[in-house]
């Protein structure tokens, strides 16, 4: 993908709308990973939160086995006689590794609320049910006139 400087600046500004000078690297990596997947909906948020334990945390095994909003759109379409490529499983593993933190006992756990809040940012003002994460990342930034 050829990207112009203008598109790169749009990505940074869309991920830093308050111009703080900081970008959440977890958000950037997650959106790039799911660039062609539709945005997370309120129903998807409830589904993910349903996988969490009492503390609101999800283990890697539970995260990978949970039904996700991108399962159907990210499935690999393998040709006959080819070894199956488990794309969805790999995406779930990548998303977990990027967004999980070590808990007090040393195991990696994903905070369901933080993950859902971060993944829902593009859909808060979105009216288009077909919008994907790439549409948000590359959206034109409105410049302010002084």
Instruction: Give the residue from 63, 133, 137, 74 showing the smallest Cα distance to 100.
Output: 63
Q: What is the pLDDT of residue 3?
A: 65
Question: What element of type H or E holds 59?
Answer: strand 57-59
DSSP state of 135: H
Residue 109 lies in a domain: yes
How many CB atoms lie under 10 A from the CB of residue 39? Answer: 23
Specify if 8 maps to a domain. Answer: no
* 83-111 tens-digit pLDDT: 777 889 999 999 999 999 997 888 999 99
Q: Which tokens sit at 102?
A: 């070590």
Strand 57-59, strand 101-102: pairing: unpaired
Confidence band (pLDDT; 50, 70, 90) for 142? Answer: low
Residue 47 above 60 pLDDT? yes
**Phi, psi (deg, nearest 5) at residue 59:** -80, 165
Average pLDDT score over residue span 33-55: 93
Domain span at 93? 32-132
pLDDT of residue 34: 94
- The answer to whether residue 101 is domain-embedded is yes
Residue 144 within a domain: no
Q: Which pLDDT score, from 0 to 100, does residue 144 have?
A: 52
What sign has the CA pseudo-torsion 96, 99, 102, 104?
negative
**Is 9 inside a domain boundary?**
no
Confidence of residue 130 (pLDDT cuts 50, 70, 90): confident
Q: Tell me the average pLDDT of the chain.
A: 87
In a domain, 60, yes or no: yes
Q: For the segment 12-40, what is each residue's pLDDT rounded down to a tens digit? A: 888 887 888 899 999 999 999 999 999 99
- Mean pLDDT value of segment 50-58: 94
Where residue 19 falls (left for φ over 0; alpha for ψ -120 to 50; beta otherwise) is left
* Mean pLDDT value across residues 124-146: 77
What is the helix (H) or strand (E) element at residue 102, kind and residue range?
strand 101-102
41 belongs to a structural domain = yes
**24, part of any domain:** no
Split into its structural domains, the chain has a count of 1
């Amino acid at each position: 993908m050829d990207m112009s400087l203008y598109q790169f600046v749009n990505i940074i500004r869309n991920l830093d709308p308050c111009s703080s000078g900081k970008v959440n690297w977890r958000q950037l990596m997650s959106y790039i990973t799911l660039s062609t997947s539709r945005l997370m909906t309120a129903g998807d948020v409830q589904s993910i939160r349903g996988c969490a334990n009492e503390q609101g945390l999800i283990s890697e095994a539970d995260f990978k086995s949970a039904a996700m909003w991108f399962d159907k759109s990210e499935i690999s379409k393998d040709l006959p006689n080819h070894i199956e490529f488990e794309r969805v499983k790999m995406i779930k593993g990548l998303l977990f590794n990027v967004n999980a933190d070590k808990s007090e006992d040393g195991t990696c756990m994903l905070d369901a609320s933080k993950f859902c809040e971060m993944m829902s940012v593009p859909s808060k003002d979105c009216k288009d049910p077909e919008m994907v994460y790439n549409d948000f990342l590359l959206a034109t930034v409105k410049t302010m006139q002084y």
